[in-house]
Structure 1
Amino acid sequence: MANGLELHNYVGHLIRRAEQVHTGLWFRHVSRDITSQQFAALNALRQEPGIDQRTLAHHTSLDRSTINQMVRRLTDQGHVSQARDEDDRRRTLLCLTDEGAELLDSLIPAAKRINEQLLESLPENERGLATGILRKIASMDDAPLGDTG
């Protein structure tokens, strides 16, 4: 019989726990109504207005069905507007509404603070390294299978 894993050394467990910490901080200090994933979508639309859902899904690393539900919810809440692409009527282009832009502006300072709070749990000389490592792990599915870069 195989020994159990030492969870304090198991990367998947640690990533899940780190996400739990982030979610708790988000809920307490940023928003109980807008999730960090919705924030990412609003932020992506601020950076690139007029993108379609597929592009938004790519920018936020969310699957198409999740982004579809999220866009519907954000549209119903008045934070996102949708318009048909005049060049390709099959595409729907997304933009922040004025209300969505105001909401995003109100969330950004608290989101920055919890990001700083998470990084402050590390020695200053390890913060950039930790962010770089997480970025590499997060982008693993962007590389062709078997390519570890």
Structure 2
Amino acid sequence: MTTFCPEELERLPGFHIRRLQQIAVAVFMEETQDFGITPVQFAAISAVLRQPGMDQRSLARFIGFDTSTIGSVIDRLEARGLIVRNTSPTDKRVRLLTVTASGTDLLREAQPAVLRAQERMLDPLPVEQRELFMQMITRVNRENQSRTLAPSLSREPA
């Protein structure tokens, strides 16, 4: 077993993954600042638009977010009139989610900014290496799903 030296922090994949996540959020927020939406909020609205009527727990699993805090995300989206909660006809304790017309409009209007953010995140890579990077990061995420407290149910390409 190799002994860890603090001077070698930059050799640890976790260090770079955490930094990349910070960069991804910063770039997303820069590009979407006019829309006042976070990456998690964007993912939530997108997922509910894709599967109208899903409940909060399913949404959390679908986007790989903590089930104990997804409620506060939905609270903020509902307060802005982007998502509505409806009582399930089969279980009064469950709230089913639907994207409003305003939520759909926001996604449509923000999409160019979101796509610019994705391009900016990959800008440091040569164009011919971007697909390989995406395949590799997708595989690392998929193969480590069972290790997270917020496993995702989203369908990732093989």
Same fold (TM over 0.5): yes
Separation in structure 1 between the aligned mates of residue 146 and residue 28 of structure 2, nearest angstrom: 30
Report the equivalent of 1:73: 76
* Aligned partners of 1:80 and 1:100 also within 8 Å: yes
Alignment of 1:52-63 (within 5 A): 52-63=55-66
Deviation string for 1:58-102 (max 9, x for gaps)? 111001122111011111111100111112222110011111111
Runs of 4+ more than 3 Å apart: none
1:112–1:2 Cα change, 3 Å? closer
Unaligned residue ranges in structure 2 (runs of 5+): 149-158
1:2–1:78 Cα change, 3 Å? closer
When the two chains are superposed, the root-mean-square deviation of aligned CA atoms in Å is 2.0
Report the equivalent of 1:88: 91
Report the equivalent of 1:112: 115
Separation in structure 1 between the aligned mates of residue 11 and residue 97 of structure 2, nearest angstrom: 42
Separation in structure 1 between the aligned mates of residue 52 and residue 82 of structure 2, nearest angstrom: 13
* SS of equivalent residue, structure 2 residue 25: helix
The amino acid that maps onto 1:91 is: V
The amino acid that maps onto 2:105 is: E
Report the equivalent of 1:6: 8
The aligned length equals 145
Report the equivalent of 2:53: 50
* SS of equivalent residue, structure 2 residue 121: helix
Report the equivalent of 1:137: 140
The one of 1, 16, 19 equivalent to 1:17 is 19
* Residue 38 (structure 1) shift: 0.6
Identity of aligned residues (%): 31
The amino acid that maps onto 1:61 is: G
Separation in structure 1 between the aligned mates of residue 4 and residue 23 of structure 2, nearest angstrom: 30
* Aligned partners of 1:31 and 1:107 also within 8 Å: no
Higher RCO, 1 or 2 (CA under 8 Å, sep at least 6)? 2
1:131–1:95 Cα change, 3 Å? same
* SS of equivalent residue, structure 2 residue 33: coil
* SS of equivalent residue, structure 2 residue 6: coil
